[in-house]
Chains A and B, each alone.
Chain A
């Protein structure tokens, strides 16, 4: 049990921070840590690309990728160290998370040599930006219910359907797309994965506005998109297996990246010393103190849980279901902290006087957090995963498992 850096880790950290010092500017206290993965506008995308290509040139991109694919063969803990160090600098958002964290590892396992040499280097340098075309209007938690169809025509596939909630689709160059190729077999069996170009005119992307008011995800309409068979990733009808690789890596990326997501509970201390409650500084109020202390305890627990996950990954264990714990607890914590921050900062109605004030800040936290509870597997799905895969409880009753998709 050792919480401090090993000598190798300390050396890695020093190297990382030397490079960052020479190539980026430190955030001053007023700027928020860059913990999001979405660009707000084209300018931010351009800056993100530029930053990524400089990282790639210096060997800091795709840290955990094998050297053979241009990575650094870094341990998950080194990835965390990098994230911590990079987090101290004013850098653009990491819009490459899906490409490097999800698509890259999937291509490494299921891709052809051609696909590897085409896509992997460009994902590293930031030339390509990827999105994940999995969810559909009728298939989210139950991802295997997708209806987007891919039909074979000679050497080509013709794909039609609709995807939804696709993060970053509006600025992505490529997408990893799950489609149904055989409706005559049970739902998990008749799917195939494809790698597609988002610039194809057969794909139309429309931003969706979220409850926070901003738009980071989209609906994506696909109308007779023609792709060569070489765009197929993995075997025909093996899409579910390929998707599971992507999803497993998504869990890994979430475990490494998310623990620090959102506001720090200590920020509530600062707020509570500046505002009043019942005619005296809020931080002198017993209930306020109790809530803040409990938030801090929960947030520390999440942080240390992610270190435990890292430790087991570094020992060579596969990204396990422990990732579900952090995933399950984070969103709710953020939501409660956001609500409490709003209450402290002003009226319970969350009325903000001017943009950037305390209410606006915590309201944004409050309106962003629900996404954490849904994206990447909802809270309810995480509980089922914990219950069945960790605790070994009997599985849900499934009525759709052995029936041909077309009969459902």
Chain B
């Protein structure tokens, strides 16, 4: 047993963290929050230039074929940076879907573009704000898709979308849709975190291609993997919120001393830390299960998601609180974390969904190893 990162993995983290701190500063995130566009295309391009977007893509398609643990490290650093980039939809969902479930020609068409940062493939799984693929009503008849998907992140920046829809037999499958088709319309939403612009996409008989490997079990595994990566992103975010708050507690004086010397403040920070570390432990298990194809992935993903959701909500809310009046202002940083935390929660569905997945998995026993 070895429940930590290797020296090489630590080095990967350091390199990425340096790159991100050059490009995706919190000032940039504030700017993205102000602009209608939201998307930080400069950081995305820098990530592509550094080879980060192709990390998990096979070498044949222009990637470097690293494993899930390396990808988890990237997720955590992206989360920590708060960069306004579509990491989770593109690297957490679309890439593994195309790579593991798609045809040769789909891979050739899309994966190199993703690795180079030319193509954004949005993920349009949800319809009702959640992401339970069981509740899909969009439908594909004779390779034409009709239905509404919402929320879809970075829809306006994407060229293609990965869509969950019912096939003619009523089974949920995954399809690729070209968003430039005239039968597709995109209606922007007003999301809590405008640095991850969300929209509704309406498909009126849009031409789509099936990902042939996308049977329900494969979709489940895909979502579990995405939840593990999202947990790392959430942990990175929560840890940054904690460190920001910790620094403020050392700097801010009241009653003649640093506020961090008051136990009410110190102990709250300790509780943030404990929740984050608990979530990290579960996320480690998830990363291992994902990397090794272990049959406890569903359980691992659910517990990683549940504890990450809890850590993020507590940390970001208390971060605002411990900053006092300044924490309640638009200009200060804490609300960036609060907003992003909610956005990450919306993306793969709320705690309820994952609680049910956990209990069902435990009741039915782990799925067969894949």
Contact = CB atoms under 8 A, between A and B. Distances in A.
Contacts of B284: 1, 304, 308
Nearest to A394: B261
Interface string A393-408: 1111100000000000
B306 A1 contact: no
A82 to B, nearest CB: 13
Interface string B282-322: 10110111011010000100110011001000000000000
B303 A296 contact: yes
A395 B261 contact: yes
A289 interface: yes
Interface stretch (B91-99, B167-175, B190-198, B267-275): B267-275
A383 B270 contact: yes
Interface in A351-408: 380, 382-384, 386-388, 390-397
Interface in B40-69: 69
Question: Chain A interface mostly helix, strand, loop or mixed?
Answer: helix
Nearest to B245: A391
Interface stretch (A2-10, A58-66, A188-196, A221-229): A2-10
Nearest to A390: B273
A117 B263 CA distance: 46
Given A3-B285, A3-B288, A325-B277, A387 B3 contact: no
Nearest to B355: A293
A266 B365 CA distance: 13
A297 interface: yes
Contacts of A307: 1, 3, 281
Contacts of B303: 296-297, 300-301
Contacts of A312: 4
A311 B3 contact: yes
Interface string A323-364: 001001100000000000000000000000000000000000
B181 interface: no
Contact of A397 (B261, B269, B287): B261
B148 interface: no
A322 to B, nearest CB: 7
A292 B359 contact: yes
Question: Chain B interface mostly helix, strand, loop or mixed?
Answer: helix
A322 B281 CA distance: 12
Nearest to A308: B3
Q: Which of A269, A292, A312, A387 has the most B CB atoms < 10 Å from its CB?
A: A387
A2 B283 CA distance: 13
A289 B355 contact: yes
B323 interface: no
A83 to B, nearest CB: 13
Contacts of A305: 277-278, 281
A290 interface: yes
B328 interface: no
B282 A300 contact: yes
B137 to A, nearest CB: 24
B21 to A, nearest CB: 20
B23 to A, nearest CB: 28
B261 A391 contact: no
B17 interface: no
B288 A2 contact: yes
B249 interface: yes
B355 A2 contact: no
Interface of B: 1-5, 9, 69, 242, 246, 249-250, 257-258, 260-261, 263, 265-267, 269-271, 273-274, 277-282, 284-285, 287-289, 291-292, 294, 299, 302-303, 306-307, 310, 351-352, 354-356, 358-359, 362-363
23 contacts: A1-B69, A3-B288, A269-B362, A289-B356, A290-B355, A293-B359, A297-B310, A300-B285, A304-B3, A310-B3, A314-B2, A325-B273, A325-B274, A325-B277, A383-B263, A383-B267, A383-B271, A387-B270, A390-B273, A391-B266, A392-B250, A393-B250, A394-B257
Given A4-B292, A384-B263, A395-B261, 16 more contacts: A2-B2, A290-B355, A300-B282, A300-B303, A301-B282, A302-B278, A307-B3, A322-B277, A325-B278, A384-B266, A387-B269, A392-B246, A393-B261, A393-B266, A394-B258, A397-B261
